[in-house]
Structure 1
Amino acid sequence: MKLAILLCALLLTSPARADWKPIEKIETYTVSGQSAEQLYLSIGEKGPVVGAAGSGRRVIAHTFFKLTWQRDYQSQGSACVLKSARPKLIITYTLPKPAGKLDPALQARWDRFAAGLIAHEKVHGAGIIDMVDRIVAFSTGLTAENDPGCKKVRAELTAYLDQLSRAQRQGSRDFDSKEFGQDGNMLKLIAAFLGGG
């Protein structure tokens, strides 16, 4: 499956995580219905809202992350060295969940649909983890001469974080465009769920 191959490729290109691990959580929102069509309509009504306040749109599933840091800046003479940067990354996947028991045939269709959704969202998660790994690799040992207040190091780090964050968001948008585009995995997944394939 293309999703699995892409996920493996993303994980293999990540620098090794030395002393941190992401925390991954799944949250659900309840959908109702006793047919694939009813469940999918409920997703459209209750799915998570993404985008700016007031102009957001509902999506089937969503990946959100919260990233905080413990950074150890040290002065060495007139230089500043960022000795370590330890992230705390929490990734939350939001997915639909039927409110009640489904008949066995519909449950089987739902299970295939749900597996495809989490596989898609996990690729987004892998991209976030890769970004954090790259930040750790860049940060650790970052040094600036004549920087007693660590302003140069902080400015260089901030510029890199901005660049990497923009690249991660663009990569995520590009992935979604492909997945939801013609012959994309997500369109096929939705069609199979609604069509009973």
Structure 2
Amino acid sequence: MGTLLKALIGPLLAMPLSGTAAAETAWQPVEQVKTYAVSGSTGIELYRSIGEHGPKVGVGRAIAFTDFKLTWTRRYEPRDGGCVITTNRPKLIITTMLPKPSGKLPAALGARWETFIAGVRTHERVHGEFIVDLVRQIEDYSIGLTVADDPDCQKIRKVLTRRLGELSQEQRGRSRDFDRTELSEGGNVHQLILDFVGGG
């Protein structure tokens, strides 16, 4: 089981990203769910199908995956010989990929599947929360950011890019740590898999 687990479950990482005063924070992420088909008449057959068809993450495949697209409406304004960011509105689309049986499951297996997939959704929701936290941090840092002696608004872009890289690395680290805990022996996702596959 341990080898099968490692072979089929890669890290479920939120992937890299691309950057409003309180009055401009009235935005919400767009959240969408996509599915991929799996098949089988037992827990182990469905789990093997996940391993064959799940989203590719790194060198392996994952049960589920949360990705995002982040774009910004940003305005740089020269001011007193320097440059300031006066507008910084994000557009965030979070997409979660989940497995879905291609056919109707027997009652007992279907009940176990619902428990399993509910736990997977809960796991992926945390990744989504990490992403939203990241965007909030970018907002907090960048709106009103000012760089002196930058009339062409070039230096400020480098300052912002450097900080965004740091925040991105922190977010990916949180995701890796979370997955490590969840997928380790006794972790929530590890236990979900054992309960689902071990049920027959």
Please indicate, yes or no, whether the TM-score normalized by the shorter chain is above 0.5: yes
Q: Report whether the alignment pairs 1:38 with 2:41.
A: no
> 2:36 is matched with which residue?
29
Contact 2:24 2:89 in 1 (8 A): no
Q: 1:41 to 1:16 in 2, by over 3 A?
A: farther
For 2:167 and 2:80, the matched residues in 1 are separated by 30
1:104 and 1:112 mapped to 2: Cα distance?
Answer: 13
In structure 2, distance between residues paired with 1:24 and 1:160: 26
Unmatched 5+ stretches in structure 1: 1-14
CA contact (8 A) 2:43 2:109 kept: yes
Q: Which ranges of 4 or more aligned residues in structure 1 deviate by more than 2 Å?
A: none
> Which digits, 9 at most, give the CA deviation of each residue in 1:95-127, with x for residues without a partner?
000000011111110000000001001101100
Matches of 2:23 and 2:88 in 1, distance apart?
Answer: 14
Shift in Å at residue 17 of structure 1?
7.9
Q: Which amino acid aligns with 2:140?
A: A
Which of the residues 159, 164, 172 maps onto 1:169?
172
Q: Is the 8 A contact 2:35 2:100 kept in 1?
A: yes
Q: Distance in 1 between matches of 2:24 and 2:171?
A: 18
Percent pairwise identity: 52
1:20 matched to 2:23:
no
Q: Is 2:113 aligned against 1:106?
A: no
CA RMSD of aligned residues (A): 1.6
Quickly say closer, same or farther: Cα 1:17–1:73, change in 2 above 3 A.
closer
CA distance in 2, matches of 1:16, 1:126: 22
Contact persistence 1:17–1:133 (CA under 8 A): no
2:66 maps to 1:59 = no
1:47-126 pair list within 5 angstroms: 47-51=54-58, 56-126=59-129
Cα offsets for 1:35-93 (capped at 9, x unmatched): 11110110011000012xxxx31111111111111101111121211012111111110
TM-score by length of 1: 0.87
Deviation of residue 151 (structure 1)?
A: 1.6
Q: How do 1:176-191 and structure 2 match up within 5 A?
A: 176-191=179-194
Shift, 1:177, TM fit: 0.6
The normalised TM-score by structure 2 is 0.86
Separation in structure 1 between the aligned mates of residue 132 and residue 138 of structure 2, nearest angstrom: 10
Q: Distance in 1 between matches of 2:121 and 2:173?
A: 20
Unaligned runs of 5+ in 2: 1-21
Aligned partners of 1:17 and 1:129: how far apart in 2?
Answer: 15
Judge conservation of contact 1:30–1:97 (CA < 8 Å) in 2. yes
